[in-house]
Amino acid sequence: MFNKNSGLVKIWVSMILLGTYTYAQCPNLSNLREIILEVLLSVGYDPDPISVPNVSADDNLNQIIGISDLMEYSFDDVNYTIYDSSNLPDLSGNLTVYVRVSATSINLASLPTVLIFTINPVTPDAPDVTNDDSLNTVSGMTTLMSYDLDSVGYVVYDETTFNAIDFSGNHTLLVVVSATDINLCSLPTTLTFTTND
The pLDDT assigned to 52 comes to 83
Is residue 105 pLDDT above 80, yes or no? Answer: no
3-state secondary structure of 83: coil
Is residue 158 pLDDT above 90, yes or no? Answer: yes
CA distance 153 to 174: 10
Beta bridge partners of 176: 146
The pLDDT tens digits for 72-88 are: 999 998 999 999 999 99
Cβ atoms within 10 Å of 125's Cβ, excluding its own: 10
Query: Which residues, 6+ apart, have CB-to-CB distance to 191 below 8 Å?
Result: 129, 130, 131, 138, 172, 173, 174, 175
CA R_g for the chain: 33
Type and span of the H or E element at 97? strand 95-101
**Average pLDDT value for residue range 163-178:** 96
The pLDDT assigned to 49 comes to 61
The pLDDT assigned to 188 comes to 97
Is residue 121 pLDDT above 90, yes or no? Answer: no
Cβ atoms within 10 Å of 156's Cβ, excluding its own: 12
CA distance 86 to 56: 19
The pLDDT assigned to 24 comes to 75
Is residue 185 pLDDT above 70, yes or no? Answer: yes
Core vs surface per residue 44-81: b (16+ CB within 10 A) or e: ebebeebeebebebebeebebeebeeebbbbeeeeebe
